[in-house]
Structures are given as structure tokens and as C-alpha cells.
Structure 1
Amino acid sequence: MELPPPQNERGPLTHHQIFSDEKSLKALFDVIVNPVIIIDRVGRIQAVNPATHQVFGYRDYEIIGQNVNVLMPEPYRSEHDEYLQNYFNTGKAKIIGVGRDVVALRKNGEEFPINLAISRMDRVDGTFFVGVVTDISLQKKSEQDLKNSEAKVEALFDVIVNPVIIIDRTGRIQAVNPATRQVFGYTDDELLGQNVRVLMPEPYRSEHDGYLQNYFNTGKGKIIGVGRDVVALRKNGEEFPINLAISRMDQESGTFFVGVVTDISSHIKLQRELRVAHAQALESQQEAEAANQSKTLFLANMSHEIRTPMNAVLGYAQVLQRNESISTAGQKQLQAMIRSGEHLLFLINDILDLSKIESGKMDLNVATFDLSLLVKDVLHILKPRFQKKQLEYELNYFTDKIFDVQGDEGKLRQSLINLLGNAIKFTDRGKIVLEVRNPKPEHFLFLVKDTGCGLAPDELAVVFETFAQTEEGRKRGGAGLGLSITKRQIALMGGQLAAQSRAGEGSTFYFSLKLPRPSGEKKVNYKSERITAIRGGISKRILVADDNSTNCEILVTLLTPVGFDVAVVSGGKDVLSELQTSQFDLLLIDQAMPDQTGISTIEMVRKSFSREAFPIILLSASVLESDVESAYRAGCDYFLPKPFNVEELLHSMGTLLDLEYDKISLEATEIHEKDVQVERLDISDEWVSSMIAFSESGNIDDIEEMVEAFEPTDQESKNFKHFLEDRIAEADTITLVRFLKKLKTTLPGS
């Protein structure tokens, strides 16, 4: 709908009538969005509209009457009055009646680009000039951005390391970058205007124009928008493989195609080399797997060869332990022998785990164990090394009671042995302390402190790195692996090994572990009790199958006094014939027998007799997981690795046969030097002097004979004898001499 034209009582108004009055002109002047400035013939500002205030920042009273050059920066300001004067003198004007891009100046001193259009206005009261200002800052910025963008594109085009070729719709080359010249060997003049097929060998050259025409006819392009491996041609006639990616570019001047070329000669060569390397690696892998299999078999055989004689050593040691005629000192020596043998078994298991360690896959073997016993065992194992270097050692432990926890006993034991062994290695005098704290439930802090050579700050920073060795470490030997392996083992258990040390003052290595208390039924501690007999006088018949007469003798000697009736056969095939003529309650079968393996024997027996007829325990010097799994699949009820612990064997037999045993406790309180009140002992000077002489000469037999003959009369003398027996058991003559000399000073007449 059109609005009717303005009118008064005499009809519609003309344009001249509308704007003939000052009020109408003022309204128009005020609403114009561009700054409008009116000046007189000498350049003084006569009027400005509100937009001028907004753009230039001046108020009316600040600008009216001022020379318009106040809105101009140099050199426009100095030249403006001359322009006006020249205009009135010659009638020639550069920008009157036209627009011109110039620079203006805001009140705050900021210069900005404007388009200035000026018209002349002659009135009865004089000549004036009306200037309309357009702020073109955004336009200029856009123009500059465009120039910058074009410059960047041009610079990018020049620095791209891949050849870039632009062709028109007929295939003629329109532009190339410097990389094109380097790769293809042509100059710009030789390429520009040529058909791009000059860079192609046959058959690509003959087919190229057909591809282009087909693309424009059908809109289908084989390589438009994708990359494709093709062959290109250098100026020297050499063909070479490339990856070609093409994109379409539509502009006002026409349609163009941009091709980006990647020389893949080295890539193709690398692929060939990789195929050869892969084949070689596959061959090497097969050789390594074969070698690894050989290594595994070797380690398994070595484990078997070590465990078999160890079974005899530890077996007879356990037989002797049950001999009541053995002295207390002798019993403790046997216990030390067994303890050391058990540690050797841990080391053998570590050797069998070698393949896992090499591949970075070490597993945790979580079980319930007595932490109190473990830390004492560790010190007992290392006592000969302490004694050899004449070092004092001390155990600070948070309790003197059995303290069962759950964790990897083997890795914790080995970690403590490594740390204590390291402390012994770097300590020549003074004392080494193993401290175990229990700061909160299930959390334990282990500390190994020494008074050795210590570490400098730079040595401490790398002490846990693989193959890292200090200067002192190189002198004392070693590969620099112990601490790094220990750190990994402790990390696997959920702890973190750290150290504090000062050169010349010793070191403290420490770590914390979470070891939860066992829930449910308490695990049997085989080392804290000894089974003596089947309760109720019951007798059970046992068939032992083993070709090794020593093993058979150990089993018969251990089982018969407890109440078992033991029969022995020397091979797997004899088992079946024995079962057909006699009745047995349980079978003990050895894995390694000459006629057939223990597992094969179990399979044979289970085919002839039901599982309920009797349980079977397999004794094996091979502890590979595959052997254990095979044993249980064959019908074994309990797998017992050799060397075996007699208490574990008896407990497993008791469980399978539902037996109860009579037992005696083996727990004994260890007596330390501080527990012996020497001033209360009633001992002759002659007796002490003889003991000192025997101790200094290392004559353990005579020392043991004197201690056995000593008859305690009260608790103090009992503690004294117990302490001496412990020292004899450990062959600790150094502590013994020091203690006896201290005792001698307390005797009357000393």
C-alpha cells in the first residue's frame, strides 16, 4: 500500500516546499547516519550533525567555529587552506562534486580512512561547502585482509614442497609452483600454456583429454576429490611413481583444476624394504621362538635337576629335625639349612619366570603368609654375610606375635633380601637395621638403614635406573640391575621404592605396601607346628610310586612314625598291578619315572578305578603351569612340588583322608642379648674363659659340648643357654666372643 504524498489545505506539497523551511532541513540534517559538516569559504565549521559527534568524538561547542583542518591529520591539515584558496582563485577543484578516499582524525588522535564527498552551496549570505563523510575503516580492513590473504596464498603456493599444477578445462597449464620445476625439471616458460599430458607417459598421455571430456559430459571423475597412485614423466624421460590429488576450482573467469603431486618413489622403495624386513623379522621371530622354546625346556630341565637333589637334602634335613636326640643347637642349624634351601627354591622359581620378566609380564602370586616369620627368615638367610663383614644388624618390628597377611611372599622376600644385600655390600663398619612399621591397618612401611658410604645427590637421582652404577658400585662389582628390578617388583605389589642418603653418612631405602589381613579360615602355618601322629591310633595304607630309592626312603621314614603303613613300587606300570592285589587309602606318585610319567600313571589308574576309590597326590620336580594343569586334568587331587615340606604333605593327606593329627608347637621366643641379665648369672670365670677361647678359635664342637653340659637353674640361666644355642646354630662366634667378654667383666674378681 502506498502512502499519500504530504499535503496541506491547498493540496499536495512539492519537494521544494517540503524542505524550504529550516525546521524540515534541520530534521533531515539530524537523521543522516553519515557525518555531515558545513564549512564557510575560509574553512570554518558552521554546522555538524549528530553523526559527526559520534564518529569524531567532538561536541558542538568544541568544533563549531574551528577550522575544519582540526579533523585532518598531516599533511592534509597544512595543505587544506591552500586548496581552498586555489579553488577560489582558479575555479578548479580536485574533489568538489566527487568522492575521494582520504584520512581523518578523531578527537582521541586516532587516524581512520574515510570517503569524503563535497558539494558547493551558494546562498544569499555566502558560499558554503557541505562535506559528507563515510567511515570506510571496515571496508579498508576487508581490502587489506583480502590482500593479506592473497599474499599468503601466493606465498603458500610458492613454499609448498609438493608440486602444485593448475590447469584449465581444456588441460592447459595455467600455473605451477617452484616445486614443480624441481621435480619435473621444466622451467615455467616450458610448461605454461602446454597441455598437462606433457608430464605423463603412455598410456596416461593418450587417455587424458578423454578423461577431461568425459568428466564434463557426465560429471563423473575417477580422481577428482580423491588421491590416486599413477606414473609421471620428468623432462629427462624418467618415469616415476606419484600420488595425484585433484580438486575442482570454479571462479568467475572459468573452471580450473588444482593437482597436488607427491613423489612416492622413496615410499615405494620403503615398502619393498619393509616387505623384505618383514620376511626377515618373521624368520627371526620363528628362530627366536624356537630358541625361547629351547630355553624354556632348558630351564625346566635345570629346575628339575636342581629340585631332585634338593628334595633329598631338605627331605633328610626334615627327617633329622624329627630326631629327638639332635641337640637344640643342631635343630636350629637344621632349620637354617631348610630356610636357605627354601630361599633357593624361590630363586629357582624366579629363573622359571624368566620369560615373563623378559616380556615385562610379571604376575603376582598372592597368598596368606606370616609377615613376622618372613622378616626373621630374611635376616637368618643373610646372617653369614653379616658375620663375614663383622657387621651388626637389628630388627625393629612392630609386634613379636604371628601376623598373617595376604600378598606376594616371594617378591616381598626377594625385595628385602636385595635391599639388605645392597646395604651389606656398601657398608664396611657399623650397623644395618631392618625396620617394619604398621602405621595404620593393612598398611606397612619397610625401611632398610645402613651406615655405609652413602650417595651423592647426583647418584641418588639415578640410583633406580637400569644399569646405573655409582663410582663405589663399580669398584664393588655388580651389573647395576638389583635396585631397578626391586623397584619394579615393589611397584607390581602396589608400592613405591624411594631412598634418602648423604655421601659418607649412609642410606635409607624404604617402601610402603598394603597387605590386607586374611579373611575367613586362617591358613595353616606349617612352620609353627609339627605333626607327631594320627589321632586315635588309626592307620592308613599308602602306596608310593617312585623309581628313586632316596625319595622312597625319605617318605617311608617321615610317614611311618606318624602312623601310615607305606608300600613302595618303582614304576608307574607296577601301580596298577599293586592296586589289583592290595587295597590302599591314598597314592603318592612321582612325576618322573622311567617307564611312564606320573600323569600317565594317574590317567591309567583313573580309567580302572573310580575317583572315590582313593585320592592321588602327585610329587613333581617340574612346576611349570602346563604340568600342574595336566596333572589335575588327569585326575590328581593334590599337586605337591619337590622339594616338599613334610608338614604340607601331611596336612594335604589329612585333608584328603579326613584325618586329625596330634601336634606339638614349634614356636619359640627368640632370645636377644638384651634379654640376658648377665649380672645375675652364677657362672665361673674358668667356664667363661674356656668359652671365649673356643669361640675365638672357631671350635664350634667344643662350644656346643660345653653349652649342652650347662644346667640352667632359673629363668635367667635358661635365657642365657637359649641365647648361646642361637649363636651356635648361626655359627655367630663374633657376637658370642663380644657377649662372653662382657660377661667376664661382671664376674667377681674381674
Structure 2
Amino acid sequence: MDLTCEELKATGATSKLDYFPTNGFESKSPSFNDQAWEAVFRCAPAALSFNDLSGRFTAANPSFLRLTGYSLEEITKIYAFEITHIDDRAECQMYIGKLINGEIEHFDLKKRMFRRDGSIMLTRLTVSLVKDQMGTPLHLMSMTEDITEKTRADESLRRHKERLSAIMNYTNVGVNLVGLDGTFIEVNPAFSAMLGYNTEDLPQMTMKHIIHADDLPQTYKNIADLLEQKISFVRTIKKMLHKDGNWIWAEAAVSVAKDMNGNPEYLVALIQDISERIESQSELKSGKEQLRKAEERMRLATEAANMGIWDYNPVLDTLEQSERAHEIMGTQEQNLAHYKDILHHVHPADHALVLKIFDQCFQSPDKSYNDGFNQIVVRVLHADGETHWVQISSQVLFEGANTSRTPTRAIAALLDVTEQSQHAEELKNARDAAEVANATKSSFLANMSHEIRTPLSSILGFSKLLLTEQGSDQDRAFYHDTVVRNGQVLEHLIDDILDLSKVEAGRMELEKVQVALFELIEETLNIFRHKAQEKNITLCLRSTGNLPPVILTDPTRLRQILINLIGNAIKFTNQGGVEITAGLSPSAEKEIHIKVEDTGIGLTDEQKLRLFQPFSQADNSTTRKFGGTGLGLHLAKRLANAMSGDLRLVESAVDKGSSFLFQFAVEVVPAEEIFSTPALDDFNFDLNGLSILVVEDSPDIQFLLVNILESSGAKVVVAGNGEEAVAFEALQAFHLILMDIQMPVMDGYEATRQLRVQGCSIPIVALTAHAMIDERQRTRDAGFTHHLTKPVNGSELLRITQELTSPLARRESVQCITQ
């Protein structure tokens, strides 16, 4: 929107405008200066803005608003540092300080700025200090120029010059740049060495100093034709004077370099010493013979480089190739008579690429395709079944010019790059594998944090409740049982981690004691009978009849594998049952087979592929229904291997169940778990009158949070997942929402996003077992007001609750959400 003079004054940009320059303005109207300034400010193509001395934008002209993407209303609500890249703020602030202190009159600097859409632009900023007639600083006046594209262009030009310099300095072809007056502007080392000069000598000379007098007239004519654009390129053979006084034969290819306006700027010449070739061809009269020898030289060069040659005639559709080309393609001479015969030996996946190049050059030549050069890499199938990677560099030769030209010949150089391609593929595979491993371990760490902190939160919280001497004996017994149960979970988890470390390091030691196998399996099964009864599923043990009564093995490790298999079967089975079958292997008398079958949720094909991988689970999302670290099956399989056995998935189908087979020699190897517990701080806060919504799927954590909050006077409502939370929010107003991140049905991220979209401005505190820094950033980005890490510290919870529910905090929260 345009900014009028009066609006400019209203924004606080200035109380009077008589300090703006008035030279050149004449009018009888006393307000002419204001009107003139308004017109200049509004219509100026330069991006102009005003800031008060604190940095807040007070005015901006349309050019500035277009540059940044903000409206006037938006820009006058923010400060300059907010749209300045964090790495550039300190330098900018330093110059502003000097400007205000009178150390400098203005300053220019480059800095990065954020547009409204979040994109970054590089700008040149010119800032002056506006003072009143008394010299008192009033405002900062800035002119901003977007130099992003210019900087990119400069960088592109720099890289282009570097590439040209590299070509000039390292090619063995003589290169020189010649001014339109015939003086050498720049020469490369190869050209200087060709004539016996130093690179510093030739720029002091002109063409007539080194070109034979007999060749000068034609040289000048060629240059004139180039400058008049009668021709775009010329190739000539001439004699040049060596520093030692001898003449050499040189082949020169010359073209014109033009400036941005299309005007000739200088000549570019590529020079090759062809003295030997001229001398060897001096006896030959025929141009065809000269061409034959030139081709022979080319073939020798390509053979020296271990390259094969194709020579294709598009008029006759005939293809000739060198012996080395046959070797590279794995063909016999009669196999490749025509160009498209190549397709019979090219991998099918690369057919489209070859046909595209062929059609572009010969079937429907692209007239804008100037140089006719192509380079591709394709896979070639040899008769022995091996696949080779071949680089094909081809040059198409044309007759005629511009739109009337036609292809007459194509020369291609073939190079077997199988080794390089395989190396590149191996590097790519290694990089991909490393990225997958890093992602898998990151997911494992996040899950591990959740699996540790969730029971730890219950332990700390219920331990604190035990110390407060509140609640009935029945409640205190429940508190105690909860602490013990969660402590056992932690112990089991840590033992898995320690055992995996031992197995991976090859330091796991096995016992060999007498074990009553059936009784051990039955005892292990009894651990899960209560859980099976709760889920109303059957749990049975069956022996094939040939099970030995006593075996020599490690009972601890055997029990550990069985606990993992049976525990998983019960965890993932909601109806039907779990059956364990034990007996001797039908093929080996000293090998035990234990089969665990369930009627649970089963596995998809994708889940089967990563079933026994470490740190991996079938479901890694935050809404996953089942917990776990992803270590269990991997550890169980490693333990089975250590017991001279194996653990494998026999079969599994989605919604039909799974079957695992554990087999081991009558000498076994399993492991154990350990865990630790911190304590909860004392808390004493008054939350009377507050209504708080707790969104948490864990009953233990629900109970803990409700007790902590209600003991301080708050009224607490509980939701079991994010979907319930969204429904609660639609029914009643709360002062605060405590939101778990990982929940079934709908996780905390999605619930918070939906609440914010609905206009909910209530403070929402994330409760998460993920302690990673990026997790905190992710919660902020999702719309959470604060972040608390499990295990929940009671004092911290109450302190944050009290802070976020204060009247001032609620007002700030509403403003933050509405903005």
C-alpha cells in the first residue's frame, strides 16, 4: 500500500518533515516539501525504509514492501533484526551504534535478509541517520538493494573464469586471446612453449611478428570475415616464427568472442604444432590421403588411451569400428553393421538414452545443437553375461551451416569405465548404507529414550507420592507395586542393552549346567499367564514326546530367548492364543526345536525384511501402539547363534499370526537386564481454580500427573489420546493442556496442530521421553508453548504450570497465537 505524508507522520516516522532535502523544490505552498517527499518516497524504485533508534520499522515505501513481501501493517510491527540473518546481526548492530554515536555519517554493508515467505536474499544496505534541526538523532533511513542474483552472477563468472584459466594453463593445445588490433592479450604456457617464448614475452608482440608474410593477407581477410559475421569460425594452416628463427607449421582454429551487446571483443585462437604432420604429408598431393593420415593419427592416439573408435556414415547407415571397440563392446565384426545394431548389446534400461541421442543427431537434427558433441555412459551386455560400463564420446560432423546443415559423419571414442563406475556404485551403496544406519540408530535412540523415561517417570513420581504419606494403605500399596513393576521394566531394558554389547563384542560367556528343559519352559510360560488371562487369550505348552528331561545348557540365556519370543507373541495377539511346542530336531538328535506360534497381527513383507535388524521395529512412528526398543529379536537371534543354534521366522501373515522357530544344540547362550532410578523434587504450589487437561496414554503417568496437580488444588481432566483431547477442547475451556507426544490413534503433534488451527490459544506443554535437542525444536514448530521431558519432575511441572497460567502469560499466549 502507498504511504502518504500524513500516514508517514502517523506511524511515528517523523513529527515534521522539514529535515528532508528541499533543494530544487520551489512552490508557494508551504506543504510542497512534504508533498514532494511523499511522492519521491512512494514512487522511488529504490527500496526505502525508516526505523526508530530501537530498530523497529516505522515506514517503508512500496519498493521495500515488494522486496520483502510484507505489507505495511506487518512491517511496522517488527524490528530490523527480526528479518536479518542471525550471523549478520552483530556487524549491523555495531555500525548502527557508531552511526548513532556520531562516529560515522552513514554506512554500507552486505547482509542476508529474510523475506516474508522465509526465503533468504543477499542485500546491500545503505543506512543514514536522520536528525532534527538541533542535531538530535531521530530515525534511521535505509536503502536496501537485492544483490542476490548479481552475487550469483559474479560467482558464476568467477567460476567460469577459473575454468577458462584451467583450460588455458593445463591444456597441451596452444591458446591465445588476440585483440582486434592484432596484439596478444593473453597466451597460455603451451602456446608460449610452442614458439619458444615466455608467457610474458608474447603480449608485447602482434600477429605480424610471428605469422609468415605469405600467410598474413589471408589471416587478415579471415579476421575481417569473422568480425563482419560472414563466418563464425575459421580453421587455417600457416607458418609461425619460432624464437630460434625456425618456422613451424601450425593449425589455427579461430573464433570471435563477443561482449554482452553482441559486439566483437577479441579473437580466440587454438593453435596446434603440426610441423611433423606437414612434413610427413609433404609428398602427398591428395586431400583424401591427408585425411587418411590424420585419421590414423587419431586412431593411434585413442589406442594409446585404450579407447575404441566408431566411424558412422549416416548417409549409408554403415558403421566401422576399431578392434579395441569390438573388445569394449564384446562383439564380433559382423555383429555391428549399422548404428542401431548397437542396441542389441546395450542394456535395455539404457535404450531410451541411446535412441534419444541418435534421433537428436540424425533422424531430426536439432538445429540449435551447435557443436554436435555428446558424451554418455551406458551399460553393455557381453556374450559371457558380464555387464560393462562404457563411456561413449561422439562428435557429429555437418555440411552446411545453421538450419540448412546436415550430418555427414560421426566419430565416437569408446572407453571402458566399468572399474570407475563400480567404484562409484560401491561408494554410493556405502553412503546409502551409512545413511540408513544413521537413520535407524537415530530412531533407536528416540525409542530408547521413550522406553527408558516412561517407566522412569512412573518410578520417580510414585516414589515421591510414597514419601508424602498421602493416600490410603491401598493407594500406597498401588504406588509401591507401580514403582517395582516399572523398575523391572527398566532392568530388563538395560540388561538387553548390556547383553547386546557383550554379544557384539564377542565377550558373552555361557554356563553349562543341568537344566530340566520342560520345567524351565513351563516356568517361563507361567510368567505370562496373568497377562494372557487379562487379554482373554489361550496359552499352552506342548511336547513332541521325545523331549529329553535334562539337558546341559545355560538356563539364563535360554529363558531370556523364550521370554522375548513368548512376550512378543502375547503382546501382538488380541484374540486366539499362543502355543509353544518343544522337542528334539527330527534331523539331529542333539538339537532342540522350540516353536512359538500365535494368532496375532502378523507381519507385512516389508516388516519381515528388517525383523532381526538391530535398533529396528515394525512401526517407528509416534502413534505406534506397541512399545519396545527394537533390540529384543536381534539380541535373541545373536544369543541363539552363540548357542550353536538359530532363531528364524517360519511364517507370518497380516492378521493371521506368526510362527518362530528357535533351535539350538544341547549347549545354549542367553542374557539379562538392569536399570536405575532418580528421585522427584519436593513441590508445593497453589493451583486452586485452575482447570487442566492431561493428554496421556499411560495409566501410570496419568495417575502420577493427576495426583501431583490435584494435590496442589487443580481440577484435572484426563484424555487417553490426541483425538480425545481435540474433542475435550471443543467442549470446555482449560487453563493449560499437558500433551504427551507418542500416543495411539492421534499423537501429540497432530492434536496440537488441530487445536491451533481451531484457534486454541491455551498454553500446551509437550510431555515427551525424547530428550534430543531437535525434538524440542520440533515441538516448538508444532505449536507447543513449552517442553517437559520425562521423567516428570513434580516441582518443575508445577512451576511451569503456575507460570503459564498467570494472567500475563495467558494474554501473551493469546497474542502469540493470533499473530
Per the normalisation by structure 2, the TM-score is 0.27
Per the normalisation by structure 1, the TM-score is 0.29
Larger radius of gyration: 1
Greater fraction of residues in helix: 1
